[in-house]
Amino acid sequence: MEHSLLYLLYFLFYSIVLLWFGKYGFDRVKSSKDYFIGHGNMGVFLGVCTFCASWISATSMLFITGSVYRFGLYPSVFGVLGWFAGALLFIPLTNRLAHQSLRKSLRTLPEYFYVRYGCRRLQAVGGMAVVFSHLFYIMLQIRGFGLVVGHMLEIPYALAVLLVYLFLIYTTFGGFESVARTDMVNFLLILIGSFTGAILVYQELGGSLHTAQKFVSASISLPQGTSSPMAADRSSLFYLGMFMFMSWALGKSTYPQYMNRVLAAKDRSTAVKMIGISLILLVATYAVLIFTSLGIRALSPELAAVSLDEIMPMAVERLFAPYWAGLILTAIMAAAVSTANSQLLVLAGSFSWDIYRYAVKRPATEEKLIRVSRWLVTIGATVSLLMAFIPPGTLLDYSSYIWGFFAATFFVPLYGGLFWKGATKEGAWAGFVGGTSIYIMEILFFRLEGEWTNPALPGVLVSLLCLVTVSTFYRRKRNRKNEEDPILTLH
């Protein structure tokens, strides 16, 4: 009973702080641009906090730790390395997107397709893809929050997810400024909670790095006594890892919420510094989380959790004193909230800016766009909340396919348009449709029973082939037309 009261105090403190910082943007939103990406003057410190907080999600804090505990380093590290490979791709992307002319004209990722290719329909379809996919990802964060808070406060899962639903609506109503300020609090909590867990594990192991090293070595071996197809041999684990790596790397490098942070930075130098510093902090944080997971297995190797997502909360409460456990569990809550409200803001922005403006016959006022965005915040959060009551698989099962979807649909038209002058509107359409089609067909008809394949890579390859082939064809066609009608070349 004592620990429940202590956890309640942690939760109340977190709620008060979140509500205080969440009100920051309400009086500062004067235009739709303010709502989507702030005033365009974000500094390095706030940029690093909001970038890292939106990166470290409930998937990271729950599934990655649970997966390392259950299966060791081999499959999980592939995925984490994929994230950072995607982040390396993001560096040249940031350098291009942070160019002054693009920063002035862009508010969402799908809008780039209009700016680069001159196609409103492609922008609208891109907006639909963002809205659809983000509903699922927000649902995963709501579920992660519900698992942790339900465990902390000993309340029903339904009540726990309702609490995060209210948090999300409140913090996202204030727009980007509110989300960024709450991200600052959330990231500091994530850092404190993650490093606290690692220090406690190190102390519980007797302060001996030799003990931890022995366990790391043992944990690389395949799990014993499991019927999972992944554990059949190292070949299966290798293919699992490679497909995870490709989907996570290519999907992360095109994720819209990170582009929002780039566009919100006050200049290109600030944006590049934000990415560089964030990567250093993220590498340190994930190293700490993996160390903690391995140490927990060394200390308590027989945790009987129902799913991988429940291992970390159960282990923390069992191994550590309540005042430390409450701090670590609060960090997991912060990770879920910081990712979910960022994605909810992207969802609302893509609908109002990329779809609604295209659909209405007359220009929408700034007030109208903000109002539509806030309605979408409520609707999107409600739909994701209802989806969270339908038990999905583990958090990463869904996350991996969402990242794969972005890889198959957005990666080639986005990077192709930025780095290849020959990319055309028709090629971008072909790449988008080709990658999406292959991705959907793979999921519906060709996915193997073992589920260690991810259709991201085939989708990306087909998308690339379509972009290059169709763009080349149309460029040659236009060149021939210009030769036949020289007057056209005067433009």
The Cα–Cα gap between 344 and 322 comes to 32
Closest to 410 measured CA to CA, from 442, 388, 439? 439
CA dihedral 58, 345, 49, 257 (to 10 degrees): 80
The angle that helices 311-319 and 268-299 make with each other, rounded to 10 degrees, is: 60
The answer to whether the beta carbons of residues 93 and 253 sit under 8 Å apart is yes
- Collect all residues with Cβ–Cβ distance below 8 Å to 319 and sequence separation of at least 6: 200, 204, 296, 299, 300
Domains present along the chain, CATH in parentheses: 2-482 (1.20.1730.10)
Instruction: Look at residue 142 in the predicted model and tell me its pLDDT.
Output: 85
pLDDT per residue as tens, the chain (491 positions): 567 778 888 888 888 888 888 888 787 888 888 888 887 788 999 999 999 999 888 777 887 788 787 777 765 666 677 777 777 777 787 777 766 556 667 888 899 899 889 888 999 999 999 998 888 888 888 888 887 888 777 788 888 888 888 888 888 888 898 999 999 999 999 999 999 998 988 888 776 655 655 555 545 544 444 444 444 455 555 555 566 666 677 777 888 888 888 888 888 888 888 988 998 999 899 889 888 888 888 777 777 666 777 788 888 888 888 888 888 888 988 988 888 889 899 999 999 999 998 888 677 788 888 899 999 999 999 998 888 887 555 555 566 777 788 888 888 999 998 888 899 999 999 999 999 998 888 777 655 444 445 667 888 889 999 999 999 998 887 777 665 555 444 33
The Cα–Cα gap between 230 and 253 comes to 27
Instruction: Look at residue 33 in the predicted model and tell me its pLDDT.
Output: 85
Q: How many residues appear in the chain?
A: 491
H/E segment holding residue 55: helix 44-55
Burial 25-38 (b: 16+ CB within 10 A, else e): beeebeebbbbbbb
**Cα distance from N-terminal residue to C-terminal residue, the chain:** 77
Instruction: Look at residue 52 in the predicted model and tell me its pLDDT.
Output: 92
